[in-house]
Amino acid sequence: MTDRALVVVRAGALTTVQDRGRPGHAHLGVPRSGALDPPAAALVNRLVGNSPDAAVLETTLDGCALRARSAVTVAVGGAPCPVRVGGRPAPWGAPVRVPSGEVLEVGAAVAGVRSYLAVAGGVAVEPVLGSRATDLLSGLGPPPLADGTVLPLGPPTAAPARLDGAPQPAPPAELVLRVMPGPREDWFTPQVLRDLVTRTYRVSPAGNRIGLRTEGLPLERARMGELPSEAMVLGAIQVPPDGLPLIFLADHPTTGGYPVPAVVHPADLPGAAQARPGTPLRFVLVRR
């Protein structure tokens, strides 16, 4: 019987199993989770012949290395990075065959933050509430990868894509996020949305899968204190006491007590997942 599995040789700074997440459980206090850059995860799955909901690996900045226990087809996308198989250079953004016993190295991102590794058949860890995603806030799903972890793989379901490479958007040199007015605009001075869209912020290194933190001028509140906890959505811009916008990403809490003056358009959140610390950030107001 073929031993379809990958063994983690180098886990990297933060490598997690991700898929399309577990939406529909917010009323139970369970975040959506899932890949922070869904288009990148979907593309690498397509390259190896997986369904869009197959589980992939999401790396953070410095990649990872894995040994194949049997021959597998893989694809690496998202943040551009060097790829090596058995110590030899291999293509990024294209299907690659990894022989049994060889080590696949996903190198450090040369731009962006998060690279995605798909394997034909998908990562077949046990699902929780219908998803294999690692959720750093709730602790659901498998823990982040550690050296020596064995990742089971499912059987391939289709042939890999027949192409040499697939175009992928470059990580943003400047992050531009469209925003819509939020439910607590009235907790701020009347010009809050004007201030938000006329100032330039920068991406803070303090961000994570829960939220992107910003650096810049604080937003001025008209009302102090906290709200009773209320529902929070993906992309909500919450403003904590320091006045600096915090953008909720996939592992965000389902409730919160800080006011939300605006919400980021969902289509712009993959760019936020790839914005490196120090990247200039501008908000643009839209009315749907």
- Cα 67 from Cα 148, distance rounded (Å): 10
Task: Note whether 265 and 177 are within 8 A (CB).
Answer: yes
The predicted model gives 231-241 an average pLDDT of: 94
* pLDDT at position 168 over 90: no
Task: Note whether 106 and 90 are within 8 A (CB).
Answer: no
Q: Among 102-111, 171-180, 194-203, 224-233, where is mean pLDDT lowest?
A: 224-233
- Cα 134 from Cα 139, distance rounded (Å): 7
* pLDDT at position 135 over 70: yes
Per the structure block, which two tokens stand in for 179? 């925003």
The predicted model gives 124-144 an average pLDDT of: 96
* pLDDT at position 174 over 60: yes
**Residue pointed to by tokens 């961000």:** 207
* Residue range 175-285 in CATH 3.40.50.720: no
Q: Among 32-36, 112-116, 125-129, 185-189, where is mean pLDDT lowest?
A: 185-189
pTM higher than 0.75 = yes
Which stretches within the chain are classed as H helix?
38-48, 192-198, 269-274
Task: Note whether 264 and 178 are within 8 A (CB).
Answer: yes
Share of the chain above pLDDT 70, in %: 98
Task: Note whether 203 and 281 are within 8 A (CB).
Answer: yes
The mean pLDDT of the chain is 94
Residue 1 confidence (pLDDT): 44
Q: Which residues of 251-260 are buried (b: 16+ CB within 10 A; e: fewer)?
A: bbbbebebbb
Instruction: Find how far residue 266's CA is from the centre of its chain.
Output: 13
What confidence category does residue 97 fall into, taking pLDDT thresholds of 50, 70 and 90?
A: very high
Domain ranges of the chain: 5-152, 175-285
Residue 165 confidence (pLDDT): 67
As a whole number of angstroms, the longest Cα–Cα distance in the chain is 67
* pLDDT at position 250 over 60: yes
- Cα 171 from Cα 114, distance rounded (Å): 10
Q: What is the pLDDT of residues 51-92, one digit of tens each?
A: 999 999 999 999 999 999 999 999 999 999 999 999 999 999
Q: What is the pLDDT of residues 138-167, one digit of tens each?
A: 999 999 999 999 999 999 988 888 776 677
Task: Note whether 17 and 129 are within 8 A (CB).
Answer: no
The predicted model gives 264-280 an average pLDDT of: 96
Residue 288 confidence (pLDDT): 65
